[in-house]
Amino acid sequence: MKAITLKAFGDSSNFELTNLPVPAVGPNDVLVQIKATAFNPIDYQMRKGLRESALMRSPILGREFSGVVVGTGSNAKKFTPGDAVVALAGSLGSNGTYAEYIAINQKLLAKKPAGIFFEEAAAIPSSGLTAWETITRAGIKPDDSIFIAGATGGVGRFLIKLLKLNGINDITATAGNPQSVDSLIALGVDSNRIVNYNADNLTDAILKTNGRQKFDYVADLAGGTITEAAASVLKINGTYLDVTFLSTEEAREILFDSACNIYNIAAFAYGLSGNLEWYGNTLEQINNLISTGQLSAPDVNVIGGLSVATVQEAHRLMESNQIFGKKIVMSI
**Could you report the per-residue pLDDT of 69-82, keeping only the tens digit for each?**
999 999 999 999 99
Whole-number pLDDT of residue 321: 83
Whole-number pLDDT of residue 142: 96
Average pLDDT (291-295) is 95
pTM, whole model, 2 decimals?
0.93
User: Confidence band (pLDDT; 50, 70, 90) for 57?
Assistant: confident
Domain covering 2-124+275-331 assigned CATH 3.90.180.10 in the classification: yes
Whole-number pLDDT of residue 257: 96
Same fold, 2-124+275-331 and 127-264: no
Distance CA 82, CA 74 (A): 17
Average pLDDT (227-242) is 97
Average pLDDT (165-173) is 97
For residue 99, pLDDT over 80 is answered with: yes
Of 44-58, 115-129, 241-255, minimum mean pLDDT range: 44-58
CA distance readout (Å), 163 to 89, 296, 299? 25, 13, 17
Asked if 74 and 24 count as a contact pair (C-beta separation under 8 A), the reply is: no
For residue 247, pLDDT over 80 is answered with: yes
Specify the CATH number for 127-264; select among 3.40.50.2300, 3.40.50.300, 3.40.50.720, 1.20.1510.10: 3.40.50.720
Average pLDDT (24-53) is 92
Per the prediction, the chain carries an average pLDDT of 95
User: Confidence band (pLDDT; 50, 70, 90) for 271?
Assistant: confident
User: Structural domain boundaries of the chain?
Assistant: 2-124+275-331, 127-264
Average pLDDT (4-33) is 96
φ and ψ of 36, to 5 deg: -160, 150
Rounded (10°) angle between helices 154-165 and 125-138: 50
Whole-number pLDDT of residue 51: 78
